Amino acid sequence: MTQTITRKFLYESDYLLWTQETIAKLKARDFDHIDFENLIEEIEDLGRSYRDELESRLDVLLSHILKRLYVPLPNDYNGWERTIREQRKQIRRRLEKSPSLKNYLPEIFDKIWQDVIKEVREDYPQYDFPDLWQFDRDIDTLLNGNFWS
């Protein structure tokens, strides 16, 4: 009981030290003294954070693609295109580290699309945007397509 309280206290009071001690215990195979409850929670959070990052980057990517395609403000094109390139680069990097995230993309695309289309319509009510994404949804198209050429 005291060890559980001590482990939980360390996790709550000094997260970095908790991670270092947990790693040391795992390497030493000292499984009797590992704070499994918080370790499991941290691993779950890590997976969630990867999915959250993909959602966020996809949101920004789609938003800027839409603006670049449908908002005729040439002075803004360069900024939107730079943002598109940056989001694509970051998504590529994340997918290289976690290829299984590619399977998550079809699951979230419609939800992200609905959020994006609502926001761009609110930001640019004077322009017409399509109700549906008009291009392929596969990751290669999203990361490489030049939709406005």
Residue 1 confidence (pLDDT): 45
| Distance, CA of 128 to CA of 32 (rounded, Å) | 62
Q: Which two tokens stand for residue 87?
A: 């989001």
pLDDT digits (tens, 9 = 90+) for 3-50: 555 666 888 899 899 999 999 999 999 999 999 999 999 998 888 999
For the chain, give every domain's residue range.
58-144
pLDDT digits (tens, 9 = 90+) for 83-121: 999 999 999 999 999 999 999 999 999 999 999 999 999
Handedness of CA 123, 128, 131, 135 (dihedral sign): negative
Mean pLDDT of 68-73: 97
Left (φ > 0), alpha (ψ -120 to 50) or beta: where does 29 sit? left
Q: Give the predicted TM-score (pTM) of the model.
A: 0.81
> What does each C-alpha distance from 126 to 67, 80, 120, 141 come to in angstroms?
12, 18, 10, 28
